[in-house]
Structure 1
């Protein structure tokens, strides 16, 4: 795919966002986009977002982290997106629904990178992986799926649009020292104080540290590296909830401090 073709596709994407056009599958020469082509589109979207010099990449999100969703979208690995600093909020933040086509929130575990991660061996242990993490937090990923038709999805089309990431809301970070391999952390999502869904950090493929290893490999293959200070969103523990104006969402994960976001 030529650079001018990528630019034309992103011009179309920006027009669709402005006009609130419903999410559409990406086609390159009348065929589905490959993941490599999708990441080229994502890279151009990111380049434009950073062009002013007032923003930066605060971390990465990982999507399609369950076998069921991978099978549904026809892939055998997760997909990645970049999180911009301008989209990072602290617990208690208020998010305006009208800023999105269709605002969704996903209940996740976020990992804070404490030191640069080198090329990892396939047999890197959980104990080694946790050594690169200096804090963890319950978090909400903020997404905009642009009213996608979930009966007709492709991983490449989602990845092209930065895997739908529009930011994150972070709970208070704590040391990971007491949480082992970060599996079996039970999650509870509350809406206006009433529990509506549960899940476990073990539901994210082989666990959050597997996700860390995967995204470290993805970044390296993309000519990047996970940097100290960046956050990694490890995938939804509870299915996406589409936000309702006036509601307050709270996610509790194990003994981590809860994270809350208000929608107006």
Structure 2
């Protein structure tokens, strides 16, 4: 849906706050009441931002809110200049909004090839995936309360995304039991979460299906090489400038980052 004048103003307010690195103490307008309204704000911001989108984050909508918002996931753009390689032991330095919200999440990352126009199911969607990696999503917004007002508010500011770290690839992913792979997360070497992808609805490939459906409905083309950050596995772990985040997959594949303000 086209953005209204107020939705355009909200998009501009978030964009200015992100560019100037200034906090928003309150939501800059009427909060969106639906995902369609949220994506109208998001689309207006993407158009004004002008940077190339290199991927999309996918997040879960709480079960008790699915009926009200009509879906069980949300999405937001990941810009190409905020995607960093951490596959060879590098620890990228990831900026966050120190006076806003900031968190790090262990995620499985899917790289899409040619998606085309065909319909997919949970098995066939693997045909358009060319690589699977471990990774970390950095969630950050200049609005500190972004996650306290429901998924539409979260989606309206780029889905609360501020970057992505591409960790080592998962070799043999087609035959691997990804759903049961143990994943742990650490902040400054202290364990803060552990889980498997069994908690992620229909798993990472379900996130890919959701994204393809949602972007097609919004008229957004999916370029080959697009990354999909498929959802937090061990939780949303708040993190502050000066701290380090590390994710450990299958007890042996590690990806990390350092956070700065």
Give the shorter-chain TM-score range: 0.7 to 0.9
* CA displacement, residues 171-191 of structure 1 (integer Å, 9 cap, x when unaligned): 0224423325x3112111122
Structure 2 CA distance for aligned equivalents of residues 248 and 170 of structure 1:
16
Aligned counterpart for 2:74 among listed residues 63, 71, 79: 79
- Inter-partner Cα distance in structure 2 for 1:212 and 1:168: 17
- Equivalent in the alignment of 1:213: 209
Are 1:262 and 2:261 matched, yes or no? no
Residue in structure 1 matching 2:220, options 221, 224, 248: 224
For residues 128-147 of structure 1, the aligned pairs below 5 Å read: 128-145=124-141, 146-147=143-144
Match of 1:250 in 2: 246
> Quick check: 1:44 aligned with 2:44?
yes
Corresponding residue SS for 1:217: helix
Task: Tell me the SS of whatever aligns to 1:229.
Answer: coil
Alignment of 1:104-119 (within 5 A): 104-119=103-118
CA, structure 1 residues 25+14, in 2 after alignment: closer, same or farther (shift >3 Å)?
A: closer
Q: CA 1:6–1:65 in 2, change beyond 3 Å: closer, same or farther?
A: closer
- Between the aligned partners of 2:14 and 2:47, the Cα distance in structure 1 is 14
1:141–1:6 CA distance, 2 compared to 1 (3 A): same
Gap runs ≥5 in structure 1: none
Distance in 1 (alpha carbons) for counterparts of 2:190 and 2:155: 33
User: Match of 1:116, SS?
Assistant: coil
Q: Who is 1:120 aligned against?
A: 119
From the superposition, tell whether residues 236 and 194 of structure 1 become closer, same or farther in structure 2 (CA, over 3 Å). same
Q: Equivalent of 1:192, from 181, 188, 194?
A: 188
Distance in 1 (alpha carbons) for counterparts of 2:101 and 2:6:
28
Task: Identify unmatched segments of 5+ residues in structure 2.
Answer: none
Relative to structure 1, the CA distance from residue 125 to residue 192 in structure 2 (aligned partners, 3 Å threshold; closer, same or farther) is closer
State TM-score, norm by structure 2: 0.84
Q: Which moved more, 1:161-170 or 1:243-252?
A: 243-252
**15-24 or 139-148, larger mean C-alpha shift:** 15-24
Aligned equivalents of 2:62, 2:34: Cα separation in 1: 20
Of 44, 65, 84, which residue of structure 2 is paired with 1:89?
84
Choose from 56, 59, 62 the match for 1:63.
Answer: 59
Question: Residue 210 of structure 2: SS of its match in structure 1?
Answer: helix
CA distance in 2, matches of 1:210, 1:89: 24
The alpha-carbon distance between structure 1 residues 239 and 229, as it changes in their structure 2 partners (threshold 3 A), is same
Q: Work out whether 1:178 is the aligned partner of 2:183.
A: no
* Equivalent residues of 1:109, 1:235 under 8 A apart: yes
